[in-house]
Amino acid sequence: MLKLGVNIDHVATLREARYRGRSHGDPDPVAAALICEAAGAHGITAHLREDRRHMQDRDIWKLREVIQTRLNLEMANAPEIVAIALKLKPDIICLVPERRQEVTTEGGLDVVGNERAITETSKKMNDAGIEVSLFIAPDPAQIAASARTGSQFIELHTGAFAERFTGPDTCSSRREEAHSSREQSESLLTSAATIQKDDELQRLISGAKQAHALGLKVNAGHGLNYVNLAALSGVPHLVELNIGHSIISRAVTVGLSAAVKEMLHLMETYRGT
């Protein structure tokens, strides 16, 4: 079964837009995480950035206290954040590149150029009972280097695939969704078949196969939404999808619980081969 990890960073982004620097404020990302769990999400993802632009330390510690599924801490390989993670003990960390000017994480981690440092951090985490995932582009050299670091997972960066997706427009998909969620699923599967030869999709397929052969487990995320998700049915060996922005955006219209359930419904067709 393909699992769903919901990234709640953008809930905190909305809160910080009005309540930055305060010890309270709405919406509460921790409350949002609990709603996602109750709706069937298999895990919660949160990114504690060095500049604390959205998630705050108090959020992360509260999440560790209340999450009953799986807490995935996205983080830069920075000494301060590494130290926090070792104390927090999330179920898994995902090392990502981090730049101050970006709105959300862009691009994959350069494992080849930072293999020694990443290997050291992976060992520290594994010794503490924390699994490690590396957020990388589906590049053969990066995948091979990831396997050498001792990490258990990679998370394939699906951003380039999402940007090149040529499926139906969002508005028409929403109309289909309002009419029948099952009809939408069938429509999306049909549109997915039209892009099976897309270069970026093929890169994801090849990357997943290579990683699996090297003993790595494979997650995927970035830019995935209700329209392009079905196209990933051709990517083998996926364990979990980490999705945030599209779910939080959809929640504005239908509510968070319904948004999570809709995404889970679309994921039901995945067979892993």
**Catalytic-role residue among 10, 47, 54, 157:** 47
Burial of 165 (0-12, 13-18, 19+ CB in 10 A): buried
| C-alpha–C-alpha distance, residues 244 and 164, integer Å | 19
| Known active-site residue 237 | no
- Identify whether the C-beta of residue 201 lies closer than 8 Å to the C-beta of residue 231: yes
Could you give the CA distance from residue 78 to residue 98 in angstroms, rounded to a whole number? 10
Tell me if 204 sits within 8 A of 161, measured CB to CB: yes
The residue written with tokens 């709105």 in the block is: 103
Catalytic residue, candidates 16, 37, 74, 262: 74
Catalytic (active site) residue 24: no
DSSP of 233-264, one letter per residue?
Answer: GGSTTEEEEEE-HHHHHHHHHH-HHHHHHHHH
Which of 131, 222, 240, 262 does the annotation list as catalytic? 222
Q: Which tokens sit at 157?
A: 């960066």
Task: With CA atoms as reference, report the closest residue to 33 among 88, 75, 72.
Answer: 72
Active site residue 157: no
Mind telling me the catalytic residues? 47, 74, 222
